[in-house]
Each structure stands twice: as C-alpha cells, then as structure tokens.
C-alpha cells in the first residue's frame, strides 16, 4: 500500500471518527439541557402544572375540611398513593396533621394550597416530595454515556466505510503515477453513489492510458523496424549512384523510398495530433476536398462521383486530407486500383467512399481492416509498401470528428471503403 493511500486512510478516517464523537457529545449535552429545562421544577411548564394542582387540592380539601374523618382519609390517600408528605394547617398556621417525612431541606418540590370554601379561608395544605434516589446525575449521565459510546463505536465502522473508497482511489492513482497502468479500483458490493461513479471514471481513464501507451509502444517498435529497410536501401542506392551505376533507375528508387518514408511520417504526425486532440475544425466543401485528394494521388477528376448535393462538413483540413489520401492509397496498393471516389449526401452526414477493383473483402474483414497493423493473409508489409496504419488512421479520424468508418463489397466486384462525417 503506497504512502498516499495510507495518508488518506489515516487522516480521513481519524477526522471522521473524531467529528462523529464531537457531534454525539454535543447532541447529548443539548438533550440533557432541554430535558432538564422542561422537566425540572421552576420551569414554565412545571409552574403551570403546579398552579392547576394547587387549585385542585384546595378545592378537594375544602369539601371535606369540616369532616375530620373524611379530611384525614383524603390526606392519607394522597400521601400513600403519591408517596409524598402532607401537612394540614388551620387559619393561624398551627399544624393539624402531618403525614410522611415532613418538608425540610431535602424537599425536591413543595406545593402550598390554601383551603377555601365559599370565599372563606379554612386553612392550608402543604404537599412536598423528596428527590427520588434514582433521580440523580447518573439517571441521565449513565444512559447518555452508554448510548454515546455505542454510537461512537458504530461511527468507527461508518468512518471506515466512508474513507475506504477514497483510500482505494488513492492507491490506484499512486499505481498509475508509478507507471502501472493495469491498476484498477475495486469497490465492494456495499459501496454506492458518487464513489462508484468516480471509480468507474478512473478505471476508464486508466484503461485508455494503458491502451494508448500500448499502441504507442507497438507503433514505435513497428516504425523503428520498418524504417530500417528503406534507410538501408537508400544508403545502398546512394552508394551505387556515386559509382555511376544505373543513375536514373537509382534516382527513381530513391524517390519511391523517400515517398514511403514521407507517407509514414505523415501518418505518425496525424496519429500524434489525434492523441493530443489537436483538432482545428472548419467548414470544408466535400467536392473541392475530393478533387484535391484525387489530384494529389495522381488521378483525374473523372474518378469523382457525386450523389445528391453534399453539404459542407466540419473537419480538420489536414487530418481530413490525410484520411482521403489513405483511402486512395489503400485502393491502389491493396485493391487493384481506384475505380471511383464517391461522395454521397445523406440527412445530417456526408459519406466519402473509395471503390476499388480488387478481390473484395472476406467475411469479417469489414471491421478488421480498420485495426492497427492489420494485413490481409498472404500480404507482406514491404511488398505492398504499407505498415498497416492507413485505414486504422482513417477510422480514428472519423471518430474524432463524430463520424465513423465503414467498408463493404461492391456488387460489381471489389470493395467500397470510406468514412462518413456529420455536416457542418
């Protein structure tokens, strides 16, 4: 596990755990304060209830005050049923009867109710209660402490579940930074939401980087190998020319080798522009672009076939010209020659297809011919003057412009290979 993921896990999990504990502590303190304010004697609710009790007790004793037996029975019932102390006094304050432990300093609350009947004061009743033994600090603190510890322990699990996806993403980022492009983020079954979306995006990014680096390594190896042959031939032809042997023929061979190297370098430059998405799109006239491509390929304008009225396409001029040149070059080298460059207008797109006079495509080759370094069975790269990048580059250029490459066999024989681009 790299240092970055360890740092993320330790720091984030510790901070989450700490803040969960602080939140639980503050919640417990707030709950205790609110409970004490609501239930403790002296609060607004308590005073309102005590006023109602005072009126009720005074009225009840007023009904039986002159009946000693009934008065004593009522006082004893209140003292026993409510577990309180009851003291009865006459109008002068003299104690008539006392039940319970008395109302001293230990009294938790005291109720003094005047006994009045028909507007005449008959005496007074004092009711008080001691603080229950169970009602102490432990009655509130113990449950709160137990609940807080349980919640804090559970918060450790929550903090780990929250920090684990970030720890995994940090691990993958560190692996990719060290060059391990095969590293992937693995989320558990219980991970949902934004963490999964982020892990999928990171995995896709790593896959694209891995694929691009692999393609670049393969391309570099292939190009390095293929360049050695034309360079060796150029060196040999140069020596023969210096000796005056077949000078015109040697110059033609040199020109052909230089042309192949130039085409290869052009493909490599186009690949690099696509890799860095360096596209400079502008509206292009399809017919004008087709005529220019035919002229550069040494073909006449009669090879251009236009169907409909094609609208301008929005494309990078350099890359689009490279794509058409590769299609024409592929038809000349592998398709027995160019029959036509067909431009077809369709709703929202314009298609550019090169028709050749070759043997056509075998089943399944409609997609394989667009793979890098693909060579048809029986073909050798040097014999055909090709590295297998032309049609692959056509496909990439089409996708970079929001279009696609396509291939099919012609009814008259041969193949029809091209691309379609959205109109501007």
What is the DSSP pairing of strand 338-346 with strand 304-307?
A: parallel
Highest mean pLDDT among 13-22, 186-195, 198-207: 198-207
Cβ count near 384 (within 10 Å): 14
| Residue 27 reports pLDDT greater than 80 | no
pLDDT in tens, 71-100: 889 888 888 888 888 888 888 888 888 888
Same domain? 101 vs 241: no
The mean per-residue pLDDT over the stretch 260-279 comes to 68
Same domain? 164 vs 191: no
Q: How many domains does the chain have?
A: 3
pLDDT band at 422 (very low <50, low <70, confident <90, very high): very high
pLDDT band at 289 (very low <50, low <70, confident <90, very high): very high
Among 225, 259, 278, give the residue marking a domain's end: 278
Same domain? 3 vs 135: yes
Among 243, 262, 278, give the residue marking a domain's end: 278
Residue given tokens 């509206």 in the structure block: 283
What does 102-133 look like in DSSP terms, one character per residue?
--STTEEEEEEEEEEETTEEEEEEEEEEEPPT
* Per-residue model confidence (pLDDT) at position 274: 65
Same domain? 223 vs 161: no
Among 278, 313, 340, give the residue marking a domain's end: 278
Residue 24 CB contacts under 8 Å (≥ 6 apart), including other chains: 148, 151, 152, 155
| Residue 229 reports pLDDT greater than 60 | yes
The mean per-residue pLDDT over the stretch 146-166 comes to 72
For residue 352, CA distances in Å to 35, 280, 321, 346, 420 come to 80, 20, 12, 11, 6
Tokens of 153: 């322990």
Could you give the angle at the alpha carbon of 384 between the alpha carbons of 252 and 250, nearest 5°? 15
pLDDT band at 382 (very low <50, low <70, confident <90, very high): very low
* Per-residue model confidence (pLDDT) at position 249: 84
Residue given tokens 């603190």 in the structure block: 141
pLDDT in tens, 43-75: 666 778 888 888 888 888 888 888 888 888 988
Burial of 222 (0-12, 13-18, 19+ CB in 10 A): middle
Q: Looking at residue 244, which CATH number applies to its domain?
A: 1.10.287.130
Is the pLDDT higher at 283 or at 176? Answer: 283
Same domain? 335 vs 208: no
Same domain? 37 vs 137: yes
Same domain? 158 vs 23: yes
| Average pLDDT across the chain, whole number | 79
* Per-residue model confidence (pLDDT) at position 228: 74
Contact (Cβ atoms closer than 8 angstroms) between residue 276 and residue 400: no
Residue 162 CB contacts under 8 Å (≥ 6 apart), including other chains: 12, 13, 16
Q: How many residues can be counted in the chain?
A: 424
| Residue 136 reports pLDDT greater than 60 | no
Same domain? 18 vs 154: yes
The mean per-residue pLDDT over the stretch 12-34 comes to 70
Contact (Cβ atoms closer than 8 angstroms) between residue 163 and residue 126: no
Cβ count near 386 (within 10 Å): 23
The mean per-residue pLDDT over the stretch 329-345 comes to 90
Closest CA to 127 of 68, 56, 217: 56
Same domain? 367 vs 224: no
The mean per-residue pLDDT over the stretch 323-337 comes to 89
| Residue 262 reports pLDDT greater than 80 | no
Is the pLDDT higher at 413 or at 47? Answer: 413
The mean per-residue pLDDT over the stretch 271-280 comes to 65
* % of the chain beyond a pLDDT of 70: 78
Residue given tokens 């210096």 in the structure block: 242
* Per-residue model confidence (pLDDT) at position 292: 93
Domain that holds residue 370: 282-422
The mean per-residue pLDDT over the stretch 339-361 comes to 92
* % of the chain beyond a pLDDT of 90: 16
Same domain? 221 vs 335: no
- CA gap 259, 257 in Å, rounded: 5
pLDDT band at 1 (very low <50, low <70, confident <90, very high): very low
pLDDT band at 178 (very low <50, low <70, confident <90, very high): confident
The mean per-residue pLDDT over the stretch 286-304 comes to 92
| Residue 195 reports pLDDT greater than 80 | no
Q: What are phi and psi of 300, to 5 degrees?
A: -85, 165
Same domain? 342 vs 387: yes
Tokens of 345: 């207008």
* Per-residue model confidence (pLDDT) at position 43: 60
| Residue 4 reports pLDDT greater than 50 | no
* Per-residue model confidence (pLDDT) at position 253: 82
Same domain? 149 vs 56: yes
Q: Looking at residue 320, which CATH number applies to its domain?
A: 3.30.565.10
* Per-residue model confidence (pLDDT) at position 245: 78
| Residue 233 reports pLDDT greater than 50 | yes
Contact (Cβ atoms closer than 8 angstroms) between residue 320 and residue 356: no
| Residue 424 reports pLDDT greater than 60 | yes
């Amino acid at each position: 596990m790299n240092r970055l993921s360890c740092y993320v896990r330790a720091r984030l999990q510790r901070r989450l755990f700490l803040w969960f504990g602080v939140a639980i502590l503050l919640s417990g303190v707030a709950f205790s304060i609110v409970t004490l304010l609501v239930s403790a004697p002296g609060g607004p609710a308590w005073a309102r209830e005590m006023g109602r009790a005072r009126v009720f007790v005074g009225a009840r004793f007023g009904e039986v005050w002159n009946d000693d037996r009934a008065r004593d029975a009522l006082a004893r019932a209140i003292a026993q049923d409510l577990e309180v102390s009851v003291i009865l006094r006459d109008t002068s304050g003299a104690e008539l009867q006392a039940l319970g432990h008395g109302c001293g300093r230990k009294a938790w609350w005291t109720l003094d109710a005047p006994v009045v009947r028909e507007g005449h004061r008959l005496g007074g009743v004092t009711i008080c209660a001691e603080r229950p033994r169970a009602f102490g600090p432990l009655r509130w603190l113990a449950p709160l402490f137990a609940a807080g510890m349980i919640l804090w322990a559970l918060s450790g699990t929550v903090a780990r579940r929250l920090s684990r996806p970030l720890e995994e993403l940090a691990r993958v980022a560190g692996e990719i930074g060290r060059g391990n492009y095969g590293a992937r983020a693995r989320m558990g079954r219980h991970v949902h939401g934004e963490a999964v979306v982020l892990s999928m995006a990171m995995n896709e990014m790593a896959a694209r980087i891995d694929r691009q680096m692999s393609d670049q390594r393969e391309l570099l190896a292939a190009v390095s190998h293929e360049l050695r042959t034309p360079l060796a031939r150029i060196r040999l032809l140069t020596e023969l020319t210096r000796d005056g042997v077949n000078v015109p023929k040697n110059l033609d061979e040199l020109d052909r080798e230089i042309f192949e190297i130039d085409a290869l370098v052009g493909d490599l430059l186009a690949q690099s522009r696509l890799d860095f998405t360096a596209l400079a799109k502008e509206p292009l006239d399809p017919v004008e672009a087709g005529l220019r491509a035919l002229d550069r390929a040494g073909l006449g304008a009669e090879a251009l076939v236009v169907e409909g009225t094609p609208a301008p396409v929005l494309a990078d001029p350099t890359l689009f010209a490279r794509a058409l040149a590769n299609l024409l070059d592929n038809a000349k080298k592998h398709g027995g020659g160019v029959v036509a460059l067909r431009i077809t207008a369709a709703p929202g797109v314009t298609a550019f297809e090169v028709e050749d006079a070759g043997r056509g495509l075998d089943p399944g080759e409609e997609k394989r011919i667009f793979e890098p370094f693909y060579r048809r069975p029986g073909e050798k790269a040097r014999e055909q003057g090709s590295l297998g990048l032309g049609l692959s580059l056509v496909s990439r250029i089409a996708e970079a412009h929001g279009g696609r490459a396509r291939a099919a066999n012609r009814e008259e024989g041969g193949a029809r290979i091209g691309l379609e681009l959205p109109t501007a």
